[in-house]
Amino acid sequence: MFQEELEYIKKIKSEHLSHQKHLIDNPLSWFALIGRFPLKEGHNQFGSQDSLLIQIPKLTEFQSGSLLVESGKVYIQNTNTNQITVNGNAPGFAPLRTDIDGDPDLIEAGSIAMQVISRAGRFFLRVWDRESDEVKNFSGLKFYPVNPALKIKAQYTTYDPPMLRKRYNAIGNEFDQPYAGIARFSIEGKDCSLIAEEDGEELLFSFTDETRRDETYPGGRYVLTQKPVDGWVSLDFNLAYNWPCAYTAFATCPLPDPQNHLAVRIEAGEKRYHNDH
């Protein structure tokens, strides 16, 4: 048993490192994010000038343009094609693809990258700087020591049909979230439960617990599991990770359902990234 526990701890630490590497190696990582700007109907000028609606100081005086919001579409206009590209080419006349289109267009100007995102029918411009101080000064994520006791077997009940509940994201948008089922388990003698979302071939449990008061990100964490087998799932809280809002104020993470607050301390998985939360 001792050897099995050591192998398990080694495996979890390796997965933590892989998760961290996946995050920081992405040139458009959450740590490189420097802005999120709401787009209004009509023209939205961007550049380095103080007077502009979208001010990005890192841009040069030649790296400016406008984003036109019209009839539910966004177009890029009035750019210097030698300084600004869309997917590596000169900007065209077609509307920009957003993140909900599955393959968003990438606007680039030097180290700055931009994409249009859509949230609850509103458009925003998301901006990264590949040379941001957050990327340069990244010193790693923080985790609790691995605790094998917090890999928990939970009884799972499927909702048929899925249960719809109102949900909110970090910028206040409301949306309907379908929940696939509920997992019931016990921690420290206390009965607990979490409702699950489907995430591809897995289940996702977004939750908060009592450690949010002092050690974990107050906006919640999440843990992924395999689909149930014979009515059971394995909840490994050592693999609980922060939502991106833990790293940047410019993310738009979904907030955990209030039903998914655990009235116990889950001292496992990822800790706070910023100490001032």
Q: What total of structural domains would you count in the chain?
A: 2
Domain span holding position 88: 30-136
In a domain, 6, yes or no: no
Give the closest residue to 69 by CA, choosing from 83, 51, 53: 53
Residue 253 has pLDDT above 90, yes or no: yes
* 102 and 179 inside one domain: no
Give the model's pLDDT for residue 222. 98
Structure confidence at residue 203 as a pLDDT band (50, 70, 90): very high
Q: Per-residue pLDDT tens for 229-240? A: 999 999 999 999
Give the closest residue to 239 by CA, choosing from 198, 200, 276, 270: 270
* 132 and 156 inside one domain: no
User: 235: which strand partners?
Assistant: 152
In a domain, 61, yes or no: yes
Q: Per-residue pLDDT tens for 115-147? A: 999 998 899 999 999 999 999 999 999 999 999
In a domain, 201, yes or no: yes
Which of 136, 153, 177 is the endpoint of a domain?
A: 136
3-state secondary structure of 44: strand
Which of 113, 136, 159 is the endpoint of a domain?
A: 136
* 181 and 248 inside one domain: yes
* 151 and 249 inside one domain: yes
In a domain, 11, yes or no: no
Q: Per-residue pLDDT tens for 35-78? A: 999 999 999 999 999 989 899 999 998 899 999 999 999 999 98
Give the model's pLDDT for residue 274. 87
Which pairing describes strands 202-209 and 261-262: parallel, antiparallel, or unpaired? parallel
Give the model's pLDDT for residue 181. 98
Q: Tell me the mean pLDDT in the region 26-33.
A: 95
* 228 and 256 inside one domain: yes
